[in-house]
Structure 1
Amino acid sequence: MKRGLLFPTTLLLLLLLGTIHAQPTPDPLDGGDYAQVYARAQAGGDAVTASRAAAAMTEYRAGGRDWTARAVQAARQATTTRPGDPDAQLALGSALGLQARAGGYTLGALNTAQQARAALDRALSLAPDRPDIQAVLAEWHAGAWAKAGIFSGGNQDRARTLATAAARRAPDTLFVQAHAGIALSLIHDSQARATLTRAATLNADTPLERDLQTQAKRVLEGLKP
């Protein structure tokens, strides 16, 4: 009798544990206080989160070049420690992309942009099926093409392929729809409006998601009829 009761109890426990582990892990940036997240991540040795938080300060809080430099520094630390981690490579590519954008039309900015692309290419090679990486790499190609055409190394066809694949693979992920839509808008693709509209209408339940959605809406409003 006791053995008969033990089995379903153990099975139920395993199922409950599986359910707990199946829950998505909250993003540390969700709360929107990116400066505080950066400080905590730095203190805790989480270089990837520190880089992402510093980049968010630049992107959504007008943090300026100091925050961009912190994003790059933390990402370099992450890739040195964990070169095979796609999230570390994605953080580095994103941070360097922000730095290149702030550098204007200079050889230094071009070099930084190429480093950003190399990091994003590494991220995609490590995780070829991740739509978030596809969307960010698509935005790199689209932004580079829009800025300097063929001389930048950007490829509008590559941008279109990556962006549409990412948007198709993750239709309910705001991050992917926003960045894929921005990429498509930069190359004036006809799918940009629908993709950005999708990003603008998805649920935005956290400050981070609302920041992303605001960015997508701003680009959507700037599209020509």
Structure 2
Amino acid sequence: MLFPSLKPILAGNAAIDLVWLALGSAPMAEFAAHARPAAIVLDLQHGLWERGTVEAAIASTGQRVPVIARCADNTHAAIAQALDAGAASVLVPLIETVDDARRALDASRYPPRGSRSAGGVRPLLGGVAAMLEADTQVSVGLMIETVAGVENAQAIAALPGIDYLFIGTGDLSLSRGSSDPDVIGHDCAQVLAAARAHGLPCGIYTGSAEAARQAHGQGYRMAVAASDIDLLKQGLQSALAAAAPA
């Protein structure tokens, strides 16, 4: 494995604080790694990342921090590109059914465990044997972020080969047609219960360090402690407010 695996962290009991990066900046990824979060998430679905900057961002983290790639979608091409870049984990969005989950798992593994195509510049640096060994260290996370996904969470979590579930609270609110904290909290609790029933860590998208701390207290292993968009926005607003004449 060229880069750190997420699997040993998932196997432990410690809280996993994430930094979520969407602005497509490889230097920002390097700064994030320097802060030593448990893992970094590159948002390839809604973020500004291009393939070259993804490769550079993963390279810039060195041997310090595992990188999770939130894939653009649940396709072989999107998953393969993230893993070919050296991501320690793929986080596959919009998983609603067992078939969706099976498709994500299949695309994430080389034969005979799946149908991922062999190749890519980085996977082959150490040769074919090293490439196949790295495959055993890849973690597959599935995003539950719709009402259908919540309803099928128990069946999804029962599939062999899943490493963790992760709740996308924003899309879940859209799917439910409600941002009521009690309603969304009930949905999230169902997914958390499904993950726990099958021995899987469960993560959740949180908008602040305080929300991440609360999520850990509720039993979620993974939570977003910071995002580049929010940090930049808050930092600029704070600086300008402080500089304004009294």
TM-score by length of 2: 0.29
TM-score by length of 1: 0.31
Q: Higher helix proportion, which one?
A: 1
Structure with greater Cα Rg:
1
Bigger RCO of structures 1 and 2 (CA < 8 A, at least 6 apart): 2
